[in-house]
């Protein structure tokens, strides 16, 4: 082919309306597709006469595998042909799509499978019962003689068979059953079997559509110039020069800064660079993380709010045969999902349609409605694939959707608000910076008798819309999780919390509080083991008598890693175990240290997450959590100087690369317990496992992350 | 200000295009915003993450820092042009190993791997490290990427379609 090809938007962007097609919710699809009748007994299932089974997923797919695991739950009971299952991303419009315990649609807390485990299997079972009833009526046979299997109902005595597609009309006339019996786990055909992900093919040919890929007719592109410091306010701006640049359409103030509107990303970026801005920096301009760490360390020596008190830790510590204390520091961290934040808004007089990758549909919908002056049910959110979430896309303020709504309200044209990588890294909503002070006493036989842990760091929840429901007695549960629930049998335990208030915005970052408490608790426990002259694995074992699931993963990881076996010269092995999101994970890391750098050679991981839905996804999420946690342990740090974030992009906020990838082995504990979290629990143990391995290899105790050359220096 | 625009001719996925565009516009944005080829991703804008990797005359380059004016007359291959039906050995291997998680970086991963396999039929782990360390994956799929590249090499060795 040759010659000129038109490159106007409407003709050259094939994705534009395919987006709509894919994201039409199941309910509307059944209403709209009048020419093709379908059996759509609820908001989750639509079976067509062509045998296609479309299942709506009410959770955001950000890599954790919900577009496969949740359909597996429905399909297990529906007895559909798995090979005919298609997935649709649920829109924000139906209340049925809300989280079973949060009351709003959203994805987080590693809760998708655990919370949908019962509901979606019932959804599938109810539809199956209606299909069986429809078949029995058609066969003029008793229901008890009919069995659903692989997308068809069979009349067992005669072998007659009707496919689900053939039953569409009749099944639609059936009453949904009031009660359904669910299968026993021993009868599962799909649940628990390694299953290929349904979203893999479209993620290998570029056709998977992320928020950033959305294009709608007449759409303009916006970039926002935000305050260079936290809490800064715009004093004045001059956009004259910016507006003369080719492609720049407009520039105006919104609450978070100045929006530059252009016909393309490149024009918008040049336009933003040309803005003249003055800010009132306020207190935010004085912040420095070095100073903060010192303030936090001072605070840690004063009494805090008590989060746990067993016995009398102060008294037991004073009387202990051996006393140890240590202080640990971990920095602010950015989520840095590979897809920078973005949001497309099409605001009309009576409606607002939004396309974005979000973990918080209903809250975003409400915020967008409030900003645009519409009712929430006039705002529709289409959830695209998320190019990573890790918590950032479940914004506690709906910040990236709110900004886009403000831009759309002023612009009154379809618009895509984009974030550059620099905007993302410097944009706040970080994992908080934490300082921990911890003391313990050992008795004469080396058994710990006292444990005092003081935690200092900003609350994610205080001051947010979630404070009333999630902060109790001054304790933000997410600040102390993983510390206040210390599983080790120690008679005297005290955990205290200080919650300083700062303008730096914070947010849940994959594994939330556990991302720091596991590092502190499991590192210090290792210190105690060495002080007691005990093997760190045996020391933990002896203290986990009342924590059998911790013990099981600990022993499995140690066994598979060859704990106690000789290592090549220069290598060290470290172990850690941690419970988060009701799952139990132990990891053994093998490391060496050279030239001020840690090399992680191998990680052996054992996980107990109850019953597994898709074991291959469980393994993938462990691999993923380990890499995510390693990036933080080895490199991750957001630092502030004169209020400014010193990092800007992957060159100074590095993440693990292929050449640094350790060999990761995952072992799953067989279990009949209810399913628990899997997206986050792989993260917490890796930092302490590596830090403890570094100690074995070098004798240097790691009490600050990331483990850089400075931290690795012998004291 | 239309004087800033230049007319650029190049070929993408064996199809010729003529685009009027500012000469310094990175190829990435022309692919995504003008041609609608959104499989190539923006991740960093400074050649640090590799999400924007495409082939220019067979070599893997970072399209986010490649001015479109520098590819005049060249043949560009994006993820959409790797095969018509996911039949490239890398795509088959990626599906077999269930490599992607969020999937955002995978176009860049696959295109970098395609350039590697084109010059090295049976790459070693060290070859993979060297060729792939420029492409970041925040989900941590590196172990599966490595397996998939070895698998794709085996498929190609057996005469798999390319």
Query: For A259-298, how does the pLDDT look when each residue is reduced to its tens digit (9 = 90+)?
Result: 999 999 999 999 999 999 999 999 999 999 999 999 999 9
Closest CA to A427 of A684, A638, A121, A672: A638
How far apart are alpha carbons A701 and A536 in whole angstroms? 14
How far apart are alpha carbons A633 and A12 in whole angstroms? 44
Is the pLDDT at A1 greater than 80, yes or no?
Answer: no
Digit-coded pLDDT (tens) for A315-327: 999 999 999 999 9
Does residue B107 fall inside a structural domain? yes
Quick one: fold of A289-333+429-712? Aldehyde Oxidoreductase; domain 4 (3.30.365)
Which tokens is B121 given?
């039929």
B114: containing domain: 89-157
How far apart are alpha carbons A418 and A60 in whole angstroms? 20
Q: With b meaning 16 or more CB within 10 Å and e meaning fewer, what string describes A462-491?
A: bebebeeeebeeebbbbbbbbbbebbbebe
Total number of domains in chain B: 2
Digit-coded pLDDT (tens) for B130-156: 999 999 999 999 999 999 999 999 999
How far away is chain A from the Cα of B21, in angstroms, using its nearest Cα? 10
Does residue B127 fall inside a structural domain? yes
Q: Say yes or no: B33 and B61 in one domain.
A: yes
Q: Say yes or no: B134 and B113 in one domain.
A: yes
Q: Indicate the Cα dihedral angle A384, A389, A391, A397, nearest 10°.
A: -40
Q: Say yes or no: B62 and B103 in one domain.
A: no
Q: Say yes or no: B15 and B72 in one domain.
A: yes
Measured between CB atoms, does B68 come within 8 Å of chain A? no
Q: What angle do CA A635, A636, A638 make, to 5 degrees?
A: 135
Other Cβ atoms closer than 10 A to A601: 15
Instruction: Give the per-residue pLDDT at A17.
Output: 24
Q: Say yes or no: B70 and B96 in one domain.
A: no
Averaged over A3-8, what is the pLDDT? 32
Q: Do B142 and A661 touch (CB under 8 A)?
A: yes
Does residue B27 fall inside a structural domain? yes
Q: Say yes or no: B74 and B99 in one domain.
A: no
Digit-coded pLDDT (tens) for B85-134: 999 999 999 999 999 999 999 999 999 999 999 999 999 999 999 999 99
A92 vs A128, residue with greater confidence? A128
Averaged over A580-591, what is the pLDDT? 98
Instruction: Give the per-residue pLDDT at B160.
Output: 59
Write down the mean pLDDT value for chain A: 94
Measured between CB atoms, does A22 come within 8 Å of chain B? no
Does residue B96 fall inside a structural domain? yes
Instruction: Give the per-residue pLDDT at A94.
Output: 85
How far away is chain A from the Cα of B14, in angstroms, using its nearest Cα? 8
How far apart are alpha carbons B39 and B32 in whole angstroms? 8
Is the pLDDT at A249 greater than 80, yes or no?
Answer: yes
Does residue B84 fall inside a structural domain? no
How far apart are alpha carbons B64 and B53 in whole angstroms? 8
Give me the CATH number covering residue B64.
Answer: 3.10.20.30
Q: Is A378 exposed, middle or buried (0-12, 13-18, 19+ CB in 10 A)?
A: middle
Q: Say yes or no: B51 and B107 in one domain.
A: no
CB pairs under 8 A between A and B: 212
Measured between CB atoms, does B94 come within 8 Å of chain A? yes
Neighboring chain B residues of A202 at a CB cutoff of 8 Å: 103
**Sequence-distant (≥ 6) Cβ neighbours of residue A614 within 8 angstroms:** A65, A68, A69, A72, A193, A194, A195, A197
How far apart are alpha carbons A267 and A247 in whole angstroms? 5
Thinking of the domain A211-282+341-418, which architecture would CATH place it in? 2-Layer Sandwich (3.30)
Closest CA to A506 of A617, A429, A424, A594: A429
Measured between CB atoms, does A620 come within 8 Å of chain B? yes
Q: Say yes or no: B153 and B93 in one domain.
A: yes
Measured between CB atoms, does A616 come within 8 Å of chain B? yes
Q: Say if residues A430 and A334 touch (Cβ distance below 8 Å).
A: yes
Q: Taking the domain A19-196, which CATH number applies?
A: 3.30.365.10
Digit-coded pLDDT (tens) for A205-226: 999 999 999 999 999 999 999 9
Give how far the C-alpha of residue A543 lies from the chain's centroid of Cα atoms, to the nearest Å: 31
Q: Say yes or no: B65 and B122 in one domain.
A: no
Q: CA end-to-end span of chain B, whole Å?
A: 45
Other Cβ atoms closer than 10 A to A104: 16
Neighboring chain B residues of A627 at a CB cutoff of 8 Å: 137, 139-140, 142
How far apart are alpha carbons A302 and A92 in whole angstroms? 47
Q: Say if residues A514 and A481 touch (Cβ distance below 8 Å).
A: yes
Measured between CB atoms, does B84 come within 8 Å of chain A? no
Averaged over B64-74, what is the pLDDT? 96
Q: With b meaning 16 or more CB within 10 Å and e meaning fewer, what string describes A667-698?
A: bbbebeeebbbbbbbbbbbbbbbbbbbbbbbb
Digit-coded pLDDT (tens) for A230-247: 999 999 999 999 999 999
At which residue do the structure tokens 């910040």 appear?
A399
Q: What H or E segment, with its residue span, contains residue A525?
A: helix A514-531
Nearest by CB: A624 against B33, B136, B139? B139
Q: Say if residues A29 and A15 touch (Cβ distance below 8 Å).
A: no
Averaged over A592-608, what is the pLDDT? 98
Neighboring chain B residues of A387 at a CB cutoff of 8 Å: 41, 102-104
Measured over the CA atoms of residue B44, residue B46, residue B49 and residue B50, the dihedral's sign is positive
Q: Say yes or no: B21 and B67 in one domain.
A: yes
Backbone angles phi, psi at A42, to 5 degrees: -160, 180
Digit-coded pLDDT (tens) for A460-512: 999 898 898 889 999 999 999 999 999 999 999 999 999 999 999 999 999 99
Neighboring chain B residues of A245 at a CB cutoff of 8 Å: 1
How far apart are alpha carbons A37 and A46 in whole angstroms? 10
Q: Say yes or no: B99 and B120 in one domain.
A: yes
Neighboring chain B residues of A15 at a CB cutoff of 8 Å: 36, 38
Alpha carbon of A240 to those of A250, A276, A389: distances in Å?
10, 9, 37
How far apart are alpha carbons A149 and A553 in whole angstroms? 37
Is the pLDDT at A11 greater than 90, yes or no?
Answer: no
Q: Say if residues A209 and A384 touch (Cβ distance below 8 Å).
A: yes
Q: Count the helix, strand and coil residues of chain B and give each as a percent rounded to the nearest 5.
A: 40, 20, 40
Digit-coded pLDDT (tens) for A420-470: 999 999 999 999 999 999 999 999 999 999 999 999 999 999 989 889 888
How far apart are alpha carbons A324 and A438 in whole angstroms? 8
How far apart are alpha carbons A519 and A692 in whole angstroms? 10
Instruction: Give the per-residue pLDDT at A138.
Output: 97
Backbone angles phi, psi at B51, to 5 degrees: -65, -20
Strand pairing report for A644-645 and A85-89: unpaired
Instruction: Mutate one of A206, A222, A271 to test the B interface: name it (highest B CB count within 10 A).
Output: A206
Averaged over A550-569, what is the pLDDT? 97
Measured over the CA atoms of residue A286, residue A291, residue A295 and residue A296, the dihedral's sign is positive
Measured over the CA atoms of residue A160, residue A161, residue A167 and residue A171, the dihedral's sign is positive
Q: Residue B10: closest CA among chain A residues belongs to which residue?
A: A2
Instruction: Mutate one of B44, B55, B88, B126 to test the A interface: name it (highest A CB count within 10 A).
Output: B44
At which residue do the structure tokens 């026993």 appear?
A184
Residues carrying CATH 3.30.365.10, chain A = 19-196, 211-282+341-418, 289-333+429-712
Q: Do A337 and B101 touch (CB under 8 A)?
A: no
State whether residue A422 is helix, strand or coil: helix
Is the pLDDT at A24 greater than 80, yes or no?
Answer: no
Domain finish residue from B31, B59, B79 = B79
Q: Residue B51: closest CA among chain A residues belongs to which residue?
A: A338
Which tokens is B97 given?
């190993």
Which tokens is B152 given?
């794709």
State whether residue A426 is helix, strand or coil: helix
List A430's β-bridge partners, or say none. Answer: A506
Closest CA to A585 of A628, A553, A632: A553
Is the pLDDT at A31 greater than 50, yes or no?
Answer: no
Q: Three-state SS across A168-213?
A: HHHHHCCCCCCCCCCCCHHHCCCCCCCCCCCCCHHHCCCCCCEHHH
Other Cβ atoms closer than 10 A to A52: 17
How far away is chain A from the Cα of B158, in angstroms, using its nearest Cα? 21
**DSSP code for A267:** H
Restricting to B residues 18-47, those with a Cβ less than 8 Å away from any Cβ of A are 18-20, 22, 24-26, 29, 32-46
Q: What H or E segment, with its residue span, contains residue A589?
A: strand A583-594
List A498's β-bridge partners, or say none. Answer: A456
Q: Do B100 and A3 touch (CB under 8 A)?
A: no
Measured between CB atoms, does B69 come within 8 Å of chain A? no
Does residue B162 fall inside a structural domain? no
Instruction: Give the per-residue pLDDT at A714.
Output: 76
Does residue B12 fall inside a structural domain? yes
Q: Say yes or no: B112 and B144 in one domain.
A: yes
């Amino acid at each position: 082919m040759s010659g000129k090809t038109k490159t106007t938007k409407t003709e050259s962007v094939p994705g534009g309306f395919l987006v709509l097609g894919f994201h039409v919710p199941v309910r509307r699809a059944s209403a709209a597709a009048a020419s093709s009748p379908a059996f759509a007994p609820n908001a989750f299932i639509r079976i067509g006469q062509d045998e296609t089974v479309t299942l709506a997923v009410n959770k955001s797919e950000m890599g954790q595998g919900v577009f496969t695991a949740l359909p597996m739950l429905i399909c297990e009971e529906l007895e559909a042909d798995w090979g005919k299952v298609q997935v649709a991303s649920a829109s924000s419009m139906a209340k049925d799509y809300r989280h079973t315990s949060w009351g709003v649609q959203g994805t987080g807390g590693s809760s998708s499978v655990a919370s949908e485990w019962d509901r979606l299997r019932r959804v599938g079972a109810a539809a199956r019962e209606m299909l069986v009833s429809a078949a029995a009526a058609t066969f003029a046979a008793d229901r008890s003689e009919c069995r659903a299997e692989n997308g068809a109902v069979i009349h067992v005595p005669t072998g007659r068979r009707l496919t689900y597609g053939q039953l569409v009309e009749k099944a639609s006339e059936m009453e949904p059953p009031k009660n359904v019996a669910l299968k026993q786990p021993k009868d599962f055909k799909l649940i628990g079997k390694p299953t290929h992900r349904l979203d893999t093919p479209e993620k290998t040919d570029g056709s998977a559509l992320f928020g950033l890929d959305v294009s709608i007719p007449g759409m303009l592109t916006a970039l926002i110039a935000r305050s260079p410091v936290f809490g800064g306010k715009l004093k004045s701006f001059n956009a004259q020069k910016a507006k003369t640049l080719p492609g720049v359409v407009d520039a105006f103030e919104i609450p978070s800064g100045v929006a530059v509107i252009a016909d393309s990303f490149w024009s918008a970026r040049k336009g933003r660079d040309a803005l003249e801005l003055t800010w009132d920096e306020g207190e935010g301009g004085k912040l420095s993380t070095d100073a903060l760490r010192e303030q936090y360390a001072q605070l840690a020596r004063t009494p805090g709010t008590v989060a746990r008190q067993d016995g009398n830790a102060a008294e037991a510590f004073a009387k202990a045969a051996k006393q140890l204390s240590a202080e640990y520091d971990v920095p602010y961290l950015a989520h840095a999902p590979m897809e920078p934040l973005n949001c497309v808004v099409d605001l009309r007089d009576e409606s607002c349609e939004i396309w974005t990758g979000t973990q918080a549909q209903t809250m975003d919908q409400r915020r967008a409605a409030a900003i645009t002056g519409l009712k929430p049910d006039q705002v529709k959110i289409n959830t695209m694939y998320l190019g990573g979430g890790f918590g950032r896309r479940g914004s506690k303020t709906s910040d990236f959707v709110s900004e886009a709504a403000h831009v759309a309200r002023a612009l009154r044209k379809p618009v895509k608000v984009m974030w550059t990588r620099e905007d993302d890294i410097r944009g706040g909503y970080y994992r908080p910076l934490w300082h921990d002070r911890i003391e313990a006493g050992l008795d004469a036989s080396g058994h710990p008798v006292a444990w005092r842990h003081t935690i200092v760091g900003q609350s994610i929840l205080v001051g947010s819309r979630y404070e009333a429901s999630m902060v109790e007695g001054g304790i933000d549960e997410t600040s102390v999780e993983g510390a206040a629930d210390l599983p080790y049998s120690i008679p005297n335990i005290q955990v205290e919390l200080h919650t300083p208030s700062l303008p730096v915005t914070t947010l849940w970052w994959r594994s939330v509080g556990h991302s720091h408490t596991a590092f502190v608790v499991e590192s210090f426990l290792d210190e105690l083991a060495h002080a007691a002259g005990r093997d760190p694995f045996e020391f933990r074992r002896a203290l986990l008598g009342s924590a059998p699931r911790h013990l099981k993963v600990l022993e499995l990881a140690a066994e598979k890693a060859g704990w106690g076996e000789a290592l090549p010269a220069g290598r060290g092995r470290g172990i850690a175990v941690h419970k988060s999101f009701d799952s139990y994970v132990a990891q053994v890391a093998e490391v060496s240290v050279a030239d001020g750098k840690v090399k992680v050679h191998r990680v052996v991981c054992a996980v107990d997450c109850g019953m597994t839905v898709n074991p291959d996804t469980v393994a993938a999420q462990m691999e993923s959590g380990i890499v995510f946690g390693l990036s933080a342990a080895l490199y991750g740090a957001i630092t502030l100087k004169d209020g400014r974030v010193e990092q800007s992009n992957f060159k100074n906020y590095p993440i693990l690369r292929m050449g640094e990838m350790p060999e990761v082995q995952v072992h799953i504990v067989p279990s009949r317990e209810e399913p628990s979290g899997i997206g986050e629990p792989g993260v917490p143990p890796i930092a302490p496992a590596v830090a403890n391995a570094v100690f074995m290899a070098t004798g240097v105790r790691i009490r600050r992350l990331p483990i850089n050359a400075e931290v690795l220096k012998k004291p | 200000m239309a004087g800033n625009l230049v007319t650029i001719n190049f070929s993408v996925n064996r199809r010729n295009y003529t685009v009027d565009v500012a000469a310094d516009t990175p190829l990435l944005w022309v692919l995504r915003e003008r041609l609608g080829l959104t499989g190539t991703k923006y991740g960093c804008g400074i050649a640090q993450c590799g999400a924007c990797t495409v082939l220019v005359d067979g070599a893997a380059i970072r399209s986010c820092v490649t001015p479109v004016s520098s590819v005049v007359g060249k043949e560009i291959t994006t993820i959409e042009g790797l095969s018509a039906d996911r039949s490239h050995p890398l795509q088959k291997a990626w599906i077999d190993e269930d490599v992607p998680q969020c999937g955002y970086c995978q176009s860049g991963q696959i295109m970098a791997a395609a350039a590697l396999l084109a010059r090295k039929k049976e790459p070693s782990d060290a070859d993979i490290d060297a060729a792939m360390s420029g492409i970041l994956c925040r989900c941590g799929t590196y172990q599966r990427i490595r397996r998939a590249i070895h698998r794709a090499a085996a498929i190609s060795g057996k005469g798999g379609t390319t």
